[in-house]
A and B are shown apart, each in its own frame.
Chain A
Amino acid sequence: MYRFPESGRGFERYMQPDGTSSGNNENYSINEIKYRGDNYASAASFAGFYNTIQDFYNETGVTIHYGDISAYDPSINLGHSTHFTGNSIDIHYFGARGKELRGANVYIQANVTLTNSFFQHAQNNGFSKNYSFGCRFTHKGNNNQKLHKDHLHIGR
């Protein structure tokens, strides 16, 4: 797997309310060596995610904020029942004008047009196991996942 950059054109990590990067890299140990890094992607997902971001940014000018992808070692428990093989990616919902939305039930505030556009670009780049909450959004996968009130998920 390959570590996806922390930031670049059209993307950043989840941000803190004060606007600083949460740098939400998990802490974990493998053979007593400490690691940080929850953004390892498979080659296909790395390319697909990067192209999704660029396509979305070219169309909307919106910078996305991503959370967990995978730890380098699949044995690490990042808390997800998926996200082991670098093919699942979490993204914060977008509000009006693409504002990053943080918090418990922010799917309600998400901009439907922007969110659907992002899902469409993700699908064009090979992501079909996509999750969101509340039947507001149109995409492949499951659009009423009970645990996706605070972020959306794309996967392959």
Chain B
Amino acid sequence: MKKISLLLLLLHCFICTNCQNKRNTANEKLVSCNFENNVVDLGIGVAVWNYDCDKNIVIYNDTLLTSKIYDFNVCYSKYNGVCPLFYKPDYGIYHFVVTKLSKKWYEIVYNSDKKGYILANSVFQFVDWHTFLKDYSTGIREKGGKTIYIVETVSDDIVSVVEEKSNVKKNVHWKDKNQLLIDIFLLE
């Protein structure tokens, strides 16, 4: 009887360890998704999520939007394994980089280098980078810097910014090819 109990206990421990490992793997995936994430291609703009918790986000494999890769609800699923450029779902932020677009779809980058297609509808609004930096950011900071600036204008890879307290103005390179050179803030 004792041997059977011990065996059951060992079996229980084995199952628990297995479950824990799987859970850790899921958490590890999430751990790599920060507010701002690296992407191999900064594309032409950003698909801004409208924070509609009643609608699922569907990512397709093709421009015909027939083959689904993911179908999930950001608000109701903790670990969906999809990491966009900006990730902060509890604040309504789940925004992808857009590399191409048509009237029907946006080509997006997720998990750093994976490409997929989302429907061009009211769930996501396409915003070009210049508009995004000027109208959607609440401030920017040079990587490694401390000073927060407000974006005034954007021209190619340069943003003209002003420091709110001192009113000092300067130009900042916001990207180098596909690498962001600034931290972008979207909240206050």
Interface residues of A (CB under 8 A from B): 14, 16-18, 22, 24, 26-28, 34, 36, 67-68, 74-75, 77-83, 102-104, 131, 145, 147-148, 150-151, 153
Contact = CB atoms under 8 A, between A and B. Distances in A.
Given A27-B33, A147-B138, A79 B88 contact: yes
B83 to A, nearest CB: 10
A27 B183 contact: no
Given A17-B75, A18-B76, A74-B146, A79 B53 contact: no
B75 A145 contact: no
Contacts of B53: 17, 102-104
Nearest to B76: A17
Contacts of B51: 103-104, 150
Interface size class of B (residues with CB under 8 A): 20 to 34
B57 interface: no
B134 to A, nearest CB: 14
A106 to B, nearest CB: 10
Contacts of B88: 26, 78-79
Contacts of A24: 90
B76 to A, nearest CB: 6
Interface string B29-70: 011111110000000000000111100000000000000000
Interface in B65-94: 75-76, 78, 86, 88, 90-93
Interface of B: 30-36, 50-53, 75-76, 78, 86, 88, 90-93, 138-139, 141, 144, 146, 148, 183-188
A18 B36 CA distance: 26
Q: Is the interface of B mostly helix, strand, loop or mixed?
A: loop
A26 B31 CA distance: 8
A77 B139 contact: no
A67 B90 contact: yes
A150 B31 contact: no
10 contacts: A22-B78, A27-B33, A28-B35, A77-B183, A79-B88, A79-B186, A81-B188, A104-B52, A104-B92, A147-B187
Contact of A80 (B30, B34, B50, B187): B187
Contact of A28 (B34, B76, B141, B188): B34
Contact of B32 (A16, A27, A75): A27
Given A81-B138, A104-B50, A150-B91, A16 B78 contact: yes
Given A26-B34, A27-B32, A82 B188 contact: yes
A145 B188 contact: yes
Nearest to A92: B90
